[in-house]
Structure 1
Amino acid sequence: MDVFWHEDCFTHDAGHGLWELPGDWPWLDVPEQHPENADRLRTMLNVLRRGPIASRLRWHVGRAATEDELATVHERGYLDALRAACAGPERVALEENTVVGPGSWPAILAAAGTTLAAMEAVLDGRATKAYAMVRPPGHHAQPGAADGYCMVNNIALAAASARRRGAARVAILDWDVHHGNGTQEAFLDDPDVLTISVHMRHGSWGGSHPQTGAPDELGARGRNANIELSLGAGDSAYLRAVDEVAAPLLRTFRPDVLLCASGFDASAFDPNGRHNVTAEGYRAIGRRVAGLADELTGGRLLLTQEGGYQRGYAAVCLHALVEGLLGITRPLLPDPIAYVPDDAVRNAAVTDADLAAVRAALAPHWPGVF
């Protein structure tokens, strides 16, 4: 498996405050590092470099994207304003919790360009399964707006690149715990891009995130599938979402290339999510995704890093996911702390209802699939 990264991804610094909120809080003895920080990427990179999976990986340095490449998804006026906000000298909150400052622009370009480099390697046959280990994340960034720590939508740029380079149909599967609203917005009217987001039910969170992530946001010919899961959903709910909804859609759509927005904030220990996925759950997701890519696309698979804010456990989950992607069924790296119960096992009827609502919304656009 090929891993792409770039050291400029470390230069973005969203500062300190009250968790994700910037500013000074006089009653807070020790201001907290913004959850989307360089240490999370360092930890994830190092588990792949030092963990037992290391010998099975090939490493590549990415590149910076050009502004013309960013403009294939984003509005020019938005990009101009974003670049100006990153010019400093002070940090600027683009919306309540999405902060940029000096160093952010090189990181934004590196995250986008490294994802594009990984996509190009897959499309050119230099890689089959590629993982872009980048930050800042991207799946909340809309064509004209930043949102949820995301400024530029890395995976949407990769999908647009694949379409320009001859892929007739592109599919995006997103398992970050939060709705991939920016990716949805970028392709909502494009019937040749299938977007599937598996996420917790959180609805709209304000002006920067008007999309709800509900199953009725269907897009052109039902090509946008939102799989909302109730709080406490764990391995069983996520695997059912893949097996019972995502996989049938992908097999019917038959994409030329499969892209995945890979977040670990659905883990049982993540402070930004309320789901209970374990490392074993991510290992199983990896096996399923690799199998679908082999079956449908000749193995052409790209993953980009999205959320995951409990650094240590996110790294364990990443390692497990990569084990699954490589077909390793017996854990190479033990899970030292998983113990939170899977609420979707104890309350299976809740997941039944969640998935039934998704199938009911999609069924008119996908006859015979459900």
Structure 2
Amino acid sequence: MTDGLQVFWDDRVLLNDTGLAFGEVPVSPLIDVQAKHVENADRVVNMRSVLQRGQIRDHLVWRDGRLATIDEIAASHPRGYIDAVRAFVDAGGGYIEENTVLSAGAWEALLAAAGTSIEAADAVLRSDTLRAYALVRPPGHHAQPEQAEGYGVFNHAALMAERALASGMRRVAIVDWDVHHGNGTQQFFYERDDVLYLSLHMRHGTWSPTHPQTGSPAEIGVGPGMGYNVNIELPLGCGDAAYAAAWRAIVEPIMEQYGPELIIVSSGQDASAYDPNGRQCLTMKGFHRLGRLTRDLADRLTGGRFAAVQEGGYHLSYAAYCLHATCEGFLARQPELDDPIGYLPDDPRHGDAGIALVQTYLSRFWEFPR
């Protein structure tokens, strides 16, 4: 078993060309100089380059990704949906929903993102490594069983969790710190107790008819899943200290009581203070702390095993720096890359009301520190 962190990459994730957009919707006729769609290939190219050239480069082992098979994707998504996505791409692509662009090269890109995520999970399940990171695009945590959304088509965290359960595990935990609520991941496991889902996100509610999930702490799961869906909805403007406080007050005690056999991390860097798609205030220091808290929790609960997958992060350069900081934390190393722009006032009490609300909804299922 290798030490360090194995990073899984496949060049084919770059093949989906999302083109130009006004943020994430078609170009504005009022603007002369159009920007790229925020979910573009450049963002993960920069993430790869920072990891390859940064101070932790000697502690990373790069591994090849692969294409997923249809059977592997069908472990989570119905075959009719998979066939419909393929037919949409074959017909020329376009906006499969209001924010999600698929180009002519998208099908292979989607298979590469799904397969590379599964391969990262498999490496941990085979005990090739304790820690794996799937550096893929597009993000997957908004993708519901039969609905593409939020740039994503297949839900990579769900595929990884199903892989772990198929290997014989009985309890898997997914922790998601992308700035947005992972409504798709919630939908997959809302009625189940074999996958615990915890999402730390900014308050934003629903945003389309296909996105009925609100991300509210009141959404705790139903039936056997009641109490196993944990939405930590934080006010806009929360920074490093508020996220760390939410982790210690909610994530840590629930995880310790649940006792997962594997932790899966939906790792987004769009909660940074400079991201165009978020309104939170994390800096590199905050992402380093989340990485280290994950490492410490895995060391206590899962024998050190966790597998992470890339979600959001849309500032072309700072998101890459924040990923480096995240991986420093995963490796239990001190910060080794200076933050070039990260300074904002940080009120540790800013998230207190949100934390208290989560505890109110879930106190009958879990015990929380006083």
Residue 369 of structure 1: how far off its partner (Å): 6.6
What pairs with 1:34-45 in structure 2 (closer than 5 Å)?
34-45=37-48
Say which of 11, 15, 21 aligns to 1:17.
21
Q: What does residue 79 of structure 2 align with?
A: 76
SS of the residue 1:8 aligns to = helix
- Is 1:244 matched with 2:253? no
Q: What does residue 116 of structure 1 align with?
A: 118
Stretches of structure 1 lacking an aligned partner (at least 5 in a row)? none
Say which of 12, 27, 32 aligns to 1:29.
32
Q: What does residue 100 of structure 1 align with?
A: 102
Structure 2 CA distance for aligned equivalents of residues 356 and 86 of structure 1: 45
Summarize deviations over 1:141-196 as a string: whole Å, max 9, x none: 00010111111000110000100001110000000000011100001111111000
Residue 208 of structure 1: how far off its partner (Å): 2.2
- Is 1:335 matched with 2:336? no
Instruction: Indicate if the aligned counterparts of 1:177 and 1:266 stay in contact, CA closer than 8 A.
Output: yes
Q: Percent identity?
A: 50
Structure 1 CA distance for aligned equivalents of residues 200 and 146 of structure 2: 23
Structure 1 CA distance for aligned equivalents of residues 100 and 234 of structure 2: 25
Say which of 51, 56, 71 aligns to 2:54.
51
SS of the residue 2:313 aligns to = coil
Q: What does residue 254 of structure 1 align with?
A: 259
Q: Give the AA of the match of 1:352.
A: D
Structure 1 CA distance for aligned equivalents of residues 244 and 259 of structure 2: 20
Instruction: Indicate if the aligned counterparts of 2:250 and 2:368 stay in contact, CA closer than 8 A.
Output: no
Q: Give the AA of the match of 1:252.
A: Q
Instruction: Indicate if the aligned counterparts of 1:93 and 1:99 stay in contact, CA closer than 8 A.
Output: yes
Q: Give the AA of the match of 1:196.
A: L
Q: Give the AA of the match of 1:247.
A: E
TM-score by length of 1: 0.96
Say which of 286, 294, 305 aligns to 2:310.
305
Stretches of structure 2 lacking an aligned partner (at least 5 in a row)? none
Residue 364 of structure 1: how far off its partner (Å): 1.4
Q: Check 1:221–1:340 CA distance in 2 against 1; reply closer, same or farther (3 A cut).
A: same
- Is 1:226 matched with 2:231? yes
Structure 2 CA distance for aligned equivalents of residues 188 and 52 of structure 1: 40
Q: Check 1:234–1:368 CA distance in 2 against 1; reply closer, same or farther (3 A cut).
A: closer
Structure 2 CA distance for aligned equivalents of residues 78 and 340 of structure 1: 44
Q: What does residue 278 of structure 2 align with?
A: 273
Structure 1 CA distance for aligned equivalents of residues 159 and 102 of structure 2: 20
Summarize deviations over 1:268-310 as a string: whole Å, max 9, x none: 1001000000000111111110010111000111000000000
Q: What does residue 319 of structure 2 align with?
A: 314
Q: Which runs of 4+ in 1 moved over 4 A?
A: 367-370
Residue 341 of structure 1: how far off its partner (Å): 2.3
SS of the residue 1:364 aligns to = coil
Q: What does residue 187 of structure 1 align with?
A: 189
Q: Give the AA of the match of 2:361.
A: A
TM-score by length of 2: 0.96
Residue 88 of structure 1: how far off its partner (Å): 4.1
Residue 25 of structure 1: how far off its partner (Å): 2.8
Structure 2 CA distance for aligned equivalents of residues 247 and 92 of structure 1: 42
SS of the residue 1:295 aligns to = helix
Structure 2 CA distance for aligned equivalents of residues 206 and 29 of structure 1: 29
Q: What does residue 61 of structure 1 align with?
A: 64
Instruction: Indicate if the aligned counterparts of 1:363 and 1:369 stay in contact, CA closer than 8 A.
Output: no
Instruction: Indicate if the aligned counterparts of 2:254 and 2:367 stay in contact, CA closer than 8 A.
Output: no
- Is 1:286 matched with 2:291? yes
Residue 71 of structure 1: how far off its partner (Å): 1.1
Q: What does residue 128 of structure 1 align with?
A: 130
SS of the residue 1:227 aligns to = strand
How many residues end up aligned between the 2 structures? 363
- Is 1:87 matched with 2:87? no
C-alpha RMSD of the superposition: 1.2
